[in-house]
Amino acid sequence: MDSDKYLKGQSMQRPPLFESDHFIYWKNRFETYVKAKDLDLWHIILNGDFPSIAKNEITQISEVVPFKQQDGDLKRKLAKNNEAKMVLYNALPKKEYERIFMCKTAKDIWKSLLITHPRFGVNNKMTNPVPAPPMDPPNTRGSGFAAVLAVLVTGASQSRQHGKSESDSYYLSD
Is 80 exceeded by the pLDDT of residue 74? yes
For the whole model, what pTM was predicted?
A: 0.60
Q: How many residues does the chain have?
A: 174
Kindly report the average pLDDT of the chain as a whole number.
75
**What value does the mean pLDDT take over residues 106-126?**
74
Is 80 exceeded by the pLDDT of residue 90? yes
Q: Would the CA dihedral through 150, 155, 160, 166 be positive or negative?
A: negative
Alpha helices in 38-143 (DSSP H): 39-47, 72-91, 94-100, 106-116
Percent share of the chain, pLDDT over 70: 60
**What value does the mean pLDDT take over residues 135-153?**
50
